[in-house]
Chains A and B, each alone.
Chain A
Amino acid sequence: MQKDRLISRDFLLFGLLGLLAILLFILDIFFGSLLIPFKTILQVLAGIGDVNPEIKSIVLDFRLPKAITAVMAGMALSISGLQMQTIFRNPLAGPFVLGISAGASLGVAILVLGFSSVFTLGLFTISGSWALVIVAWLGSALVLFLILAVSIRIKDILTILILGMLFGSASGALVNILQYFSNESMLKSFVIWTMGSLGSVTKSQLNVLIPSVMIGLVLSFFSVKSLDVMLLGEQYAKSMGLRVRNARFLVFTSTSILAGSITAFCGPIGFIGIAVPHIGRLLFKTARHKILIPSSLLIGSIVMLLSDIVSQMPGYESTLPINSVTALVGIPVIIWIILKNRKFSSV
């Protein structure tokens, strides 16, 4: 028996999810305030035919970067959520609830409000973007390691979640205080940052966002095997030969980079990180990261693209904030997890 190989059902699911992701990617480019014929969009994407340069610019400079950002955000947040759920052995862990996104915001706030001179360079230069993303990583990492330090002493998972929320609130409070003491021009650039969304990511920022997310994802691929054994807890992982501290450091680095990068450019986006891994588990009925990581990548992209399409409100001029849409998508999944766990613990 070769149970290790992917069964045909898994292949079929991956194929369908892949197709759905591609379809939604094209649809996401198609929908926007200006109606562009589908054929024209395909022509622009393929680089053939004679297309009005303005239309070409809308597609290539605005809609394509936005769709790519949606895919990046979906992948990064889902993988960071998956990693947190495994490390903390908590189905409700995710970058948003653990305060990791808030930590990233704090990093950005300190940079933007504390060192305005950097920002005379502007948010939109490459060096400004890298500075932004690196402080977001550091902010995320700070919160993560605080939670880790506490989790060594306190094993109760609910306590850790609550502490995560407290760290998040504390970061938020510090950001508010920083805002209070900063001058008008600093405040202005910070407020612009807080209004960040998928659509605000420019082509040049993508040059920073894409490699950042790729680094985080590559690190998570190296954790495939150790994440599996960490499901059983630290003692078992150690007894099977895992150097727990190193493995955890790798996972935390990956999570900080993934959650930090997205928060740096798109602002905090909630609930994707918690919800998507569970959809993956539900579809593939497995706990192995060899399958959960690729499935979270695909489902994360799909959910984010879908949320973006919904937030465009096809047919209307205005757009909804992406964070509200992801909350409405993610919260039912979370309620389902809570109900399911309650049932389980009472058996």
Chain B
Amino acid sequence: MSNEQVNITVRNLSVGYKKGKNFVAIKEGINVNAHSGELIALIGSNGIGKSTLLRTLTGFQKALGGEILFNDRKLGNFSIRELARVLSFVSTEAIRVQNLRVWELLAMGRYPYTNIMGTLTDEDNRIIQRAIQQVGLAGYEDRMIDQISDGERQRAMIARTLVQDTPLIILDEPTAFLDIRNKYEIIHLLHDFVKTENKTVLFSTHDLNISTSEVDKIWLMLDDKVVEGAPEDLILAGNFDQMFHSDKVYFNGESGDFMLRKNVIGTYTLIGSEGKIFNWTCRALQRIGLVYAETDPLVVINIPNMEENPVWKVEINSKEKLEIYSLYELTAELYKRLSGL
């Protein structure tokens, strides 16, 4: 495995597309960096130019201005062959080739290293075998890629980048179309070999919650600029709030995720010890549009203190008293009474 490391420097970059004879810039003045051993998420709303930026970084399309440096060498100075040993790429498009085995797909990753007939050496075979182990696809070597699950196919595509043995890996929405377990596992996998192999991995995603808990850095594309930093830096600076100009969605700086704005139907206070039941009761109440208030709450709820057969004792408007046995019943009863008030 190559121990070469790649740092990316993006200076005053403009990306966009060619329309007829004119160039249309989607995003200008991009200044970001990435260092080896970093897992980086590229985040931004749809249509803001994430894919365009990634395609420009991979050299598939030309930058409209500014420069991209891999270890102080301009991207434009790499030949296609040289670039194939520096960066590998996984696109959003699902590969659906028939009669292609997982092992054969991975073997393609050796393309930049093999002779004209594509003959694999013992070393090549060893590298392929190792990548299969790393992504957890041992035993899948002879499976056809159109007959495995989306998550498994995505692992195979990632394994192919490991086989290509590049210090830099760029992935365009690797977690799109995956279920929640696979989303976590794929990001975790990327995180793993960033650390063990000291690679630089950049991926675009919409899964904010997952990426904020795993990545070292976020490149956040906003309408007017691109900001970078640790996920926590961006949350504290309030950058995520600028992602949408929407009165329906807002960024919750506490939970690190986007939330839907609710119509407030009342206030509540909880009595009881903090814990699992306490937290989930809060979540349930917030879901139907109740907000926490220390003084003069509309609803006072006694949190049950045991997890088995819990009973919520509810007092509404200091008058009506209820005993409730599930959060489903609690939210239904409260919503019925309060939304009509």
- Give residues in A with beta carbon < 8 Å to B: 1-4, 89, 91, 222, 224-225, 228-229, 231-233, 235-236, 238-243, 281, 285-288, 290, 344
Tell me whether B91 is interfacial, beta carbon within 8 Å.
yes
- Contact check: which of B81, B100, B119 meets A4 at CB < 8 Å? B119
The interface bits of chain B over 88-110 (1 if a CB of A lies within 8 angstroms of the residue's CB, else 0) are 11010101111111011101110
Find out whether the CB atom of A224 lies under 8 angstroms from the CB atom of B125.
no
Find out whether the CB atom of A1 lies under 8 angstroms from the CB atom of B125.
yes
CB distance from B20 to the nearest CB of A (A): 13
CB distance from A240 to the nearest CB of B (A): 4
Chain B, interface size category, equals 35 or more
Find out whether the CB atom of B146 lies under 8 angstroms from the CB atom of A232.
no
Within 8 A of A (CB), among B131-181: 141, 144, 146, 164
Find out whether the CB atom of B108 lies under 8 angstroms from the CB atom of A240.
yes
Find out whether the CB atom of B83 lies under 8 angstroms from the CB atom of A233.
no
Find out whether the CB atom of B80 lies under 8 angstroms from the CB atom of A232.
no
Find out whether the CB atom of A224 lies under 8 angstroms from the CB atom of B118.
yes
- Who on chain A is nearest to B81 by CB? A241
CB distance from B286 to the nearest CB of A (A): 40
Find out whether the CB atom of B164 lies under 8 angstroms from the CB atom of A240.
yes
Cβ–Cβ < 8 Å partners of B85 in chain A: 241
Within 8 A of A (CB), among B64-98: 80-81, 83-85, 87-89, 91, 93, 95-98
- Contact check: which of A2, A222, A239, A287 meets B99 at CB < 8 Å? A287
- Who on chain A is nearest to B97 by CB? A231
Find out whether the CB atom of B114 lies under 8 angstroms from the CB atom of A225.
yes
Find out whether the CB atom of A236 lies under 8 angstroms from the CB atom of B119.
no
Find out whether the CB atom of B116 lies under 8 angstroms from the CB atom of A2.
no
Find out whether the CB atom of B60 lies under 8 angstroms from the CB atom of A232.
no
Q: How far is the CA of A230 from the CA of B101 in the complex (A)?
A: 15
Q: How far is the CA of A280 from the CA of B164 in the complex (A)?
A: 28
Q: How far is the CA of A238 from the CA of B91 in the complex (A)?
A: 12
Tell me whether B129 is interfacial, beta carbon within 8 Å.
yes
Q: How far is the CA of A2 from the CA of B223 in the complex (A)?
A: 52
Q: List 14 A-B contacts (CB under 8 A).
A: A1-B129, A3-B141, A4-B119, A89-B97, A224-B117, A225-B116, A231-B108, A235-B89, A236-B89, A236-B95, A239-B58, A239-B83, A239-B84, A240-B108
Find out whether the CB atom of A229 lies under 8 angstroms from the CB atom of B111.
yes
Cβ–Cβ < 8 Å partners of B117 in chain A: 224-225, 290
- Give residues in B with beta carbon < 8 Å to A: 58, 60, 80-81, 83-85, 87-89, 91, 93, 95-101, 103-105, 107-109, 111-112, 114, 116-120, 122, 124-125, 128-129, 141, 144, 146, 164
CB distance from A296 to the nearest CB of B (A): 13
Q: How far is the CA of A224 from the CA of B48 in the complex (A)?
A: 40
Cβ–Cβ < 8 Å partners of A224 in chain B: 116-118
- Contact check: which of B80, B107, B109, B128 meets A242 at CB < 8 Å? B80
Q: How far is the CA of A224 from the CA of B114 in the complex (A)?
A: 12
- Who on chain A is nearest to B96 by CB? A344
Find out whether the CB atom of B111 lies under 8 angstroms from the CB atom of A240.
yes
Q: How far is the CA of A10 from the CA of B80 in the complex (A)?
A: 34
Cβ–Cβ < 8 Å partners of A222 in chain B: 116
CB distance from B114 to the nearest CB of A (A): 7
Cβ–Cβ < 8 Å partners of A233 in chain B: 93, 95
CB distance from A84 to the nearest CB of B (A): 15
Listed residue (A4, A239, A286) with the most chain B CB atoms within 10 angstroms of its CB: A239
Find out whether the CB atom of A240 lies under 8 angstroms from the CB atom of B84.
yes
Find out whether the CB atom of B99 lies under 8 angstroms from the CB atom of A281.
yes
- Who on chain B is nearest to A244 by CB? B80
Find out whether the CB atom of B88 lies under 8 angstroms from the CB atom of A228.
no
Cβ–Cβ < 8 Å partners of A288 in chain B: 104
Q: How far is the CA of A285 from the CA of B122 in the complex (A)?
A: 24
Q: How far is the CA of A196 from the CA of B119 in the complex (A)?
A: 41
Cβ–Cβ < 8 Å partners of B129 in chain A: 1
Q: Provided the pairs A224-B118, A225-B111 are in contact, do residues A239 and B100 lie with their beta carbons within 8 angstroms?
A: no
Q: Provided the pairs A229-B111, A286-B104, A287-B104 are in contact, do residues A91 and B141 lie with their beta carbons within 8 angstroms?
A: no
Q: How far is the CA of A40 from the CA of B308 in the complex (A)?
A: 96
Find out whether the CB atom of A242 lies under 8 angstroms from the CB atom of B111.
yes
Cβ–Cβ < 8 Å partners of A285 in chain B: 99, 144
Find out whether the CB atom of B87 lies under 8 angstroms from the CB atom of A239.
yes
- Who on chain B is nearest to A232 by CB? B95
Q: Provided the pairs A4-B119, A236-B91 are in contact, do residues A286 and B101 lie with their beta carbons within 8 angstroms?
A: yes
CB distance from B63 to the nearest CB of A (A): 17
Closest 7 CB pairs of A and B: A241-B84, A225-B118, A287-B100, A239-B89, A4-B120, A241-B112, A240-B111
